[in-house]
Structure 1
Amino acid sequence: MAVPKKRTSKSKKNLRKTVWKKKALKQAVQAFYIADRIAKKETNEKLTNLQLNDQKEDS
C-alpha cells in the first residue's frame, strides 16, 4: 500500500522558492541587458547610416 511522503517544512519550501526566484531574476536581468545592447547597436548603426547619407548628399 502507498505511504504518503513526509511534509516538507515551510523553511525548506521557502528556501527552494527563493533560489528559484533569484535564478529567474538573474536570467531576466541578463536578457534585458542583451536586448538593450542590441537596441543601442541598431540605433548607432542607423545614425551612422544617416550621417553617411547626409555627407554623400552634401558632396
Structure 2
Amino acid sequence: MAVPKKKTSKSKRDSRRATWRRKAEVQAQKAISLGKSILSGRSTFVYPTDEEESEDEE
C-alpha cells in the first residue's frame, strides 16, 4: 500500500486547501451571477429549453 514518505507541512496543506476553496468560491459566484441574470431576463446567455431539446432529438 502506498504511503507518503514525509509528513506534509501545515503551511503547504493550508495553502492547498485555500486554493481549492478559492476556486470553489469563484465558481459559486459565477453560478449565482448567471442565475440572477437569467431570472432578471437581461441575460445574453443562450440555454436550451425543453421544447428545443425535444425538436433536436426528432
Q: TM-score, normalised by structure 1?
A: 0.62
Count residues with an aligned counterpart. Answer: 41
Root-mean-square deviation (CA, aligned residues, Å) is 2.0
> Identity, % of aligned pairs?
44
Higher relative contact order (CA 8 A, sep 6+): 2
Amino acid at match of 2:33: Y
Structure 1: gaps spanning 5 or more residues: 43-59
Structure 2: gaps spanning 5 or more residues: 43-58
Q: TM-score, normalised by structure 2?
A: 0.63
SS of the aligned residue for 2:16 comes to: helix
Listed as ranges, the matches of 1:1-59 within 5 Å are: 4-41=4-41
